[in-house]
Amino acid sequence: MVLYIRGMKKNETNIILNSNRLILREFELSDAEEIYKLNSDKEVIRYTGDIAFESVEAASEFLSNYNDYELNGYGRWAVIEKESKAFRGWCGLKYHSEGFTDIGFRFHRMYWGNGYASESAKSVLDYGFNSLCLTEIIGRASQENIASIKVLEKIGMKFWKKDVCEGIPNSVYYKLDKN
């Protein structure tokens, strides 16, 4: 059964991927408070160029209008720890109008260093190549964001170039081809 609630696709499970410790599922409106908290942490968004949501309501509005699943068949997904069933962050794919798909991830700071980014990102790459039949996935990070660069390298991505990313100069681009 599939329902659409204010532009957001809902189904009975909403689960996209399972890894050893994590479930990746589509965002739900009930994620608004966690998304708000995540983007309110200046360290979490330090290298992203994003600004914090002004309120939980603003995060809820963002989620209500998030339509990547319908437009592209994929998007960013909530990362839920299986054991605790708690929201840890997000990871997923994003199609850009310039004609490429990137992988991205963001986690609550208290969970950094637990391998959630690498575990979820590896699952997302596999899904992108094997289920979505993508032929190339890009990873982008500020040159100063050493932790994210390490994740991109750990999941097998190779340095491609330096360029501006979302207005951030000195960003590094990584990519991985299906083959």
How many Cα atoms are found within 13 Å in the side-chain-facing hemisphere of 135? 1
Q: Which tokens hold the place of 148?
A: 């994210």
How many Cα atoms are found within 13 Å in the side-chain-facing hemisphere of 66? 26
Under CATH, what is the fold of the domain 2-135? Aminopeptidase (3.40.630)
Kindly give, in sequence order, each residue whose CB lies less than 8 Å from that of residue 84, ignoring residues fewer than 6 positions away.
none
Q: Is pLDDT above 80 for 1?
A: no
Q: Please, what is the Cα angle at 23 between 177 and 81, to 5 degrees?
A: 125
Question: Across residues 71-86, what is the average pLDDT?
Answer: 97
Q: Is pLDDT above 80 for 7?
A: no
Q: Which tokens hold the place of 59?
A: 């995060």
Amino acid at 42: K
pTM of the model as a whole: 0.90
Q: Give me the pLDDT at residue 49, please.
A: 87
Identify which has the larger pLDDT, 67 or 3: 67
Q: Is pLDDT above 50 for 29?
A: yes
Euclidean distance between CA atoms 28 and 13, whole angstroms:
11
